[in-house]
Amino acid sequence: MSVRLALLGLLSGASSHGYRLKSRYDDVLDPDGSVPAAQIYATLSRLERDGLVRQAETTQDGGPPRRVYQLTEAGRCEIDRWLAAPVEPAPELQALLYTKVVLSIIAGRRIEPLLDAQREAHLVRMRELTGMRQSQGLARKILAEYALFHLEADLKWLDLVAEQVTELVAGVETDRRAADR
Amino acid sequence: MTSSRHRPSGADIETPAAPLLRAVGLHKRFGPTVALRRAGLTVRPGEIVAVMGPSGSGKSTLLHCVAGILRPDEGRVCYAGRRIDDLSDDDRSRLRRTAFGFVFQFGQLINELTAAENVALPLLLEGTKRREAMQRAHAWLETMSIADLHSRRPHEMSGGQAQRVAVARAMATEPRVVFADEPTGSLDSVSGTAVLDAFTAVARAHRVAVVMVTHEPRVAAYASRTVVVRDGRVPDSDDDGGGVAS
């Protein structure tokens, strides 16, 4: 998962400054806080250099002045394209899929089209694996079974997400308001 | 979420223009509950279609309407170019016995009959002589790799064995479509996989179309195409609108 896309995703919800982006990143995508603040700031500079974000203003709430970044049109196109594309179905893709779901909610996008596209991509892959299961030797058959069980687990998780969209969106909104205070 | 562009194996690749079954604009209501809203489904000869959807989405009602078990309140169902939703109850029963086969979640075999007698039953109902019906039943049990169970009654079989008998019974009349409602819903995943391997292989070998309702992606993955029912609708169907209701 690239920090670059994560920052574009976070900024597509609302303009923000580096310090707040770092805490938001940790809250929703990286509970271990493994990405250093310096990397967040460096990535923001590169995004600005590449024309995907720009500085909107500088705020100073009693503390040091902070640069507020916002997406440019090019940045919005890039994140929209990435969020709309399903993840290539492979077992154990949960981190990337989770990231897309969370960033889509933050960006205020409807997540149903992503869930549908992902379900379809998964079913296509599962049909291929089922075909392989029926036509290959034992070793490949067992490997195909392994992949099928994992892809099925992903699909069950997608169904669970789909059932909870309203609550998830409300939860993200509540978190955002709390972070803004 | 249909996917006709991807087909995994050879037998059902040919899709002639004329659909075998075509349901258009189906509405069905049970008291105050609307189960189907302008739902549609098209099935071509020999193809295996999975019908998926959450509980209560209307997928079983869609299957029952398309199979002539239920009569839709509006819309129409055509089989081999002929309208079947407005047939009399007797005519629809006859069609179900001759052109369609059924596999249900719990087999629904008759407990007092042996495996072979269960498979022979639909043939006997259609007037086939007992001797011939039993011969054909034995052949189908052999096709489903359970020839040695011919004299067992359902309570003497495992769930997977009973479902194989149910598939043999559904195939015995040489139908053109088999409708399966959660065919492996009562089985563990190992027996379920074995039953589906056998079921889909025999359907493809005999060019029998299968319409299979399931909530399990692993089961749907046996189909060449998946349609999703949501809230009584089939969102991607090209048959679910357009003033075609009768």
* Domain CATH for A50: 1.10.10.10
Which chain A residues are Cβ-neighbours of B9 within 8 angstroms?
A: 131, 134-135
Query: What is the pLDDT at residue B2?
Result: 41
Give the domain extent around A24: 1-83
Q: A132-166 pLDDT, tens per residue?
A: 887 777 777 888 888 898 899 888 888 888 888 88
Do A134 and A176 sit in the same domain of this protein? yes
Q: Which residue of A has its CA nearest to B198?
A: A134
Q: Are residues A180 and A92 in the same domain?
A: yes
Rounded to an integer, the average pLDDT of B19-47 is 94
Mean pLDDT, rounded, of chain A: 85
Of the residues A83, A110, A144, which one is the last residue of a structural domain?
A83
Q: Is the pLDDT of residue B245 over 60?
A: no
Whole-number pLDDT of residue B17: 55
Give the integer Cα–Cα distance in Å for A90 and A147. Answer: 7
**Given strand B48-52, what is the order of strands in its sheet?**
B100-103, B177-181, B209-213, B48-52, B225-228
pLDDT exceeds cutoff 50 at B241? no
How many Å is the maximal CA-CA distance in chain A? 69
What average pLDDT does the segment B26-31 reach?
A: 94
Q: Quote the distance between the C-alpha of residue A18 and its chain's center.
A: 18
Residue in A with minimal Cα distance to B6: A124
pLDDT of A63 strictly over 70 = yes
CA distance A52 to B4: 38
Residues A79 and A97 grouped into a single domain: no
- In this structure, what DSSP letter does residue B197 have? H
For residue range B157-191, list pLDDT tens digits in order: 999 999 999 999 999 999 999 999 999 988 888 89
Tell me how far CA of residue B53 lies from CA of A179, B80, B210, in angstroms: 38, 27, 17
Which of B197, B216, B226 is best to mutate for the A interface (most A CBs within 10 A)?
Answer: B226
Check whether B26 has a pLDDT greater than 90.
yes
Do A122 and B217 lie within an 8 Å CB cutoff? yes
Indicate whether A33 and A97 sit together in one domain: no
> Which of A83, A100, A133 is the endpoint of a domain?
A83
Q: What's chain B's Rg over C-alpha atoms?
A: 18
Residue of A nearest to B236 (CA): A116
A99 and A38 fall within a common domain: no
Residue A28 shares a structural domain with residue A57: yes
Percent of chain B exceeding pLDDT 90 equals 74
Q: Residue B6 pLDDT > 70, yes or no?
A: no
Q: Is the pLDDT of residue A88 over 50?
A: yes
Residue of chain B with shortest Cα separation from A153: B217
Structure tokens at A116: 């549908």
Pick from B197, B223, B226: CB nearest A134: B197
Q: A20 and A73 share a domain?
A: yes
**B8 to A148: CB separation less than 8 angstroms, yes or no:** no
Tell me the pairing of strands B100-103 and A53-59: unpaired
User: Is the domain of A32 the same as that of A95?
Assistant: no
In this structure, the answer to whether residues A36 and A48 fall within a common structural domain is yes
Residue B238 pLDDT grade (very low, low, confident, very high; cuts 50, 70, 90): low
Q: Which of A109-113, B114-118, B241-245 has the lowest mean pLDDT?
A: B241-245
Segment B211-216 shows an average pLDDT of 93
Which pLDDT score is estimated for A179?
66
Residue given tokens 């250093």 in the structure block: A36
Strand order in the sheet with B74-79: B33-43, B21-30, B74-79, B82-83
- Mean pLDDT on A77-87: 89
Last residue of a domain, one of A68, A83, A98: A83
Residue A98 sits in the same domain as residue A150 = yes
Domain shared by A79 and A3, yes or no: yes
Residue B244, pLDDT score: 32
Res. A51: pLDDT tops 80: yes
Q: Which of B54, B218, B224 sits opposite A152 (nearest CB)?
A: B218
Q: What is the pLDDT of residue A93?
A: 64
User: Which residues of B are less than 8 Å from A124 in CB distance?
Assistant: 3, 6
Which residues in chain A are contacts of B223 at CB distance < 8 A? 127
Is the CB of A123 less than 8 angstroms away from the CB of B9? no
**Cα distance between the two ends of chain B:** 27
pLDDT grade, residue B70 (50/70/90)?
Answer: very high
Which residues in chain A are contacts of B51 at CB distance < 8 A?
Answer: none
What is the average pLDDT across A58-69?
A: 77
- Is A16 a residue whose pLDDT tops 50? yes
- Nearest 10 degrees: CA dihedral of B28, B34, B39, B41? -60
CA dihedral B181, B183, B185, B191 (to 10 degrees): 180
Amino acid identity of residue B55, one-letter, is S
**A residues 104-143 closer than 8 Å to B (CB):** 116, 119-120, 122-124, 126-131, 134-135
What pLDDT was estimated at residue B236?
61
**pLDDT computed for residue B246 by the predictor:** 28
Contact call for A127 and B1, based on CB within 8 A: no
Q: Are residue A93 and residue A179 in the same domain, yes or no?
A: yes
Q: By C-alpha distance, which of B63, B227, B22 is closest to A116? A: B227
pLDDT class of B237 with cuts at 50, 70, 90: low
Give the count of domains, chain A. Answer: 2
